[in-house]
Every structure is written in structure tokens, then in C-alpha cells.
Amino acid sequence: MSAAVTLALLFFLSVALNEQVTEGCTCLPKHPQQQFCASDIVIRAKVIGKVPSTLPQLTAYKIQTIQTFRQLNKRIQVIYTRSTQTSCGINLENGEYLLLGPVEDGRVILDLCDRVEPWNQLSRVQKMYLSMYQRGCVCEISPCTGASCLIEMLQKKCLMRVNNSFILDDEEALQSICLPGSGGFCRWRKFLK
């Protein structure tokens, strides 16, 4: 295979893996930093309970924001989720969550492809990185497989290993944050406290 064909194939895979696929709610895995940077809101919130929904096919939950990591200039008091009867629906219990997702027409609407995680299940390192991810949003995180992971890139990109099933297979990257360094080049960094 020629170098040009190989390069074109790698580019296609890179673009394809960076897109979220939602067919039957199959979501390609993303690094937490990618999820953070792609989200309109990132908050720690307490779900107080269900409230009547004004939108068909959506369930509404009243929340109380505890901590804001990234948010539009609007105070969020209600979030919506897809109905649990759809393949992408989620059900929330009362309690504290990390919520990352989009804002659509002024409303936060979350589904299985967004990050909705009980706060007490996050590690200490994951909680610490939430306040640092914003600095790394100038960097790109790109999936790689096999020999393509060995290429040293001096650009605004960090490589993250995925296996042939497109499952994240890079524990080192998952425990790190991609940040710009000298010359604006991005690289993985690990902070331990």
C-alpha cells in the first residue's frame, strides 16, 4: 500500500473516530477531555427529582448546581433526558452527578452518549482534571492503532490508542491530560496529588 493511501486511510479513521455515532445509541468512546471540550455544560449537580416535562418524549429533572466547570451564561435548573423507552434514554436517581452535554434551543438534553456519572464514582484524579481540561481544549486528541501510535507528532495533537474494536485501550492517556507546552505543541501530562 502506498504511503499516500495509508495516510488517507489514517486521516479518514481519525475523522470518523472523532465523530459521535448514535445508531441504536452506539457511541464511540472518547477521552474525558474530549467530552469536556465538546460539551456546552460541565457541572456537578444534585438531581432533586422528576418534574413535569413540557417537551414530548423527554423526561425533566429539577437540579441544583453545586459546581460549574463550563457553562453558558444561563443558570440551569432543569435538565432533560431522552425517554427511557428510546434506545438512548437514561434514568436518573436523586443524588449528585457530573453532567456533560449539549444545550439545544436553550435546554440541556442528555442521553447515553453524553457523560452522566455519579459524582461519588469519579476518582480523585478525575475530579482534579475537571478544573484543568479547559486549558487543553486548544489541543486535539486523536485515536490511533498499531504502528500509527508510535509516530511522534509535534503539533496540537495527542494520540490515544484504541484497539481494533475501537475501544479505548490507553490507560496512560486516560489518566493524563493533553495540554499545550512550549512552542504550542500538545502532549500528554500526568498530575498526581
Q: What is the pLDDT of residues 108-134, one digit of tens each?
A: 999 988 999 999 999 888 899 999 999
By CB neighbour count within 10 A (0-12 exposed, 13-18 middle, 19+ buried), where does 133 fall? buried
- What pLDDT is recorded for position 169? 63
Q: What pTM did the predictor assign?
A: 0.78
Interatomic CA distance for residues 82 and 46, integer angstroms: 19
The domain spans of the chain are: 3-35+131-189, 40-121
117 closest CA partner among 8, 27, 43: 43
Q: Which three cell numbers stand for residue 54?
A: 413540557
**CATH number for the domain whose boundaries are 3-35+131-189:** 3.90.370
Fold of 40-121: OB fold (Dihydrolipoamide Acetyltransferase, E2P) (2.40.50)
Q: Which three cell numbers stand for residue 72?
A: 453558558
Confidence of residue 24 (pLDDT cuts 50, 70, 90): low
Q: Which three cell numbers stand for residue 86?
A: 428510546
